[in-house]
Amino acid sequence: MPRLFVALDLPEPVKAGLEHLCGGLPGARWVRDRQFHVTLAFLGEVEGPLARRVAEGLHGVRADPFPLELRGVGHFPPRGTPKVLWVGVDGGPELLALHHRVHSRLERLGLQLEERRFAPHVTLARLVQPPLPELLRFMDEHMAFREGPLPVTDFQLMSSVLGRSGAQHRVEASYPLFARRPG
């Protein structure tokens, strides 16, 4: 059964730039097939009728388009053994507002969502005991990475199916952002 999540899909030229970062670190399982995105909400396994209600209900999310910038690299967790390597995302208060509106809409539809603090990022790799000197070298080499500002004009409902070669993501629906009229 597919898992659903709400995300900002990135333009292909940006994905190509991120793909150039993916290499040279032992113990990294790199994101495949340019499936880079910014997750706004992870829903998990959602079945038929509820999945349709989610797809329809997200049309009610209203937000202005906004700029987004990718910058720097880091890892989760910030303390302890690194498990995820990421590129940072700065979308300002507009990104936080969109995240909040998506979460509120999904909760009104009856979904139970993760309570963890929103930390916008683009995952580059899952890490399995990377050698610390190599990880520090990688982070030092790519700390100055910058891309953007990128115009965010829509968000997506995406599905993820786990397979032998990793997850395969597919856009299920796209939702445009519209500038609010003054007045």
3-state helix/strand/coil string of 82-105: CCEEEEEEECHHHHHHHHHHHHHH
Which two three-digit tokens encode residue 90? 């700065």
**Residue 121 is among the residues annotated as catalytic for this protein:** yes
The strands making up 37-45's β-sheet, listed across from edge to edge, are 37-45, 3-9, 154-163, 166-176
Catalytic: which of 75, 99, 103, 121? 121
How far apart, in Å, are the Cα atoms of 19 and each of 22, 77, 116?
A: 5, 22, 28
Q: Of the residues 37, 75, 103, 169, which is catalytic?
A: 37
43 contacts 158 by C-beta, under 8 angstroms: no
Residues serving a catalytic function are 37, 121
